[in-house]
Structure 1
Amino acid sequence: MLFFCFLYDQKRMVRNSKPVAGICSRCGGCASVADMETATRFCYVPIYRKSWRAIICTFCGALLKSYRHVC
């Protein structure tokens, strides 16, 4: 039964990013706005994709704010 945990995963990818004015509240690093994509996979085959925007820290990678991406 333990091998079922490895068949299903979710991967978060940064498609592109731009620097923004502001700093990270956790580490003090620079922030950037990024177009993100989340892919849910079953046996390495993507079954669901979601695109969204987020403000992330470029140093520690913390997700500072996320919002829906309107195409």
Structure 2
Amino acid sequence: MCLVFVCDEEVRVLGTQQAPGNCPYCGGVVMATDVEAAWRLCCLPLCLKTKRKYSCTSCSRRLVTYP
């Protein structure tokens, strides 16, 4: 008996915009990117999540915000 799960994550960029503030490492401009991730199991949608990710345009580092 063979059991195979076919899972896939589809990531789509919804938009980008300039975030307030500067990069703490190099002082560059910070960009906010809205990303939508959809998990699928055999073409059936399981989960849909929207996240906002921050990154620096100069040094390309991913920045993390703390609440």
Q: TM-score, normalised by structure 2?
A: 0.56
Q: Does 1:32 align with 2:31?
A: yes
Structure 2 CA distance, aligned partners of 1:63 and 1:32? Answer: 10
Stretches of structure 2 lacking an aligned partner (at least 5 in a row): none
Stretches of structure 1 lacking an aligned partner (at least 5 in a row): none
- Whichever of the two has the greater Rg, that structure is 2
| Distance 1:8-1:18 versus aligned 2 partners, 3 A rule | same
Q: How many residues align?
A: 64
Structure 2 CA distance, aligned partners of 1:43 and 1:59? Answer: 40
Cα deviation, residue 54, structure 1: 1.4
AA in 2 matched with 1:10: E
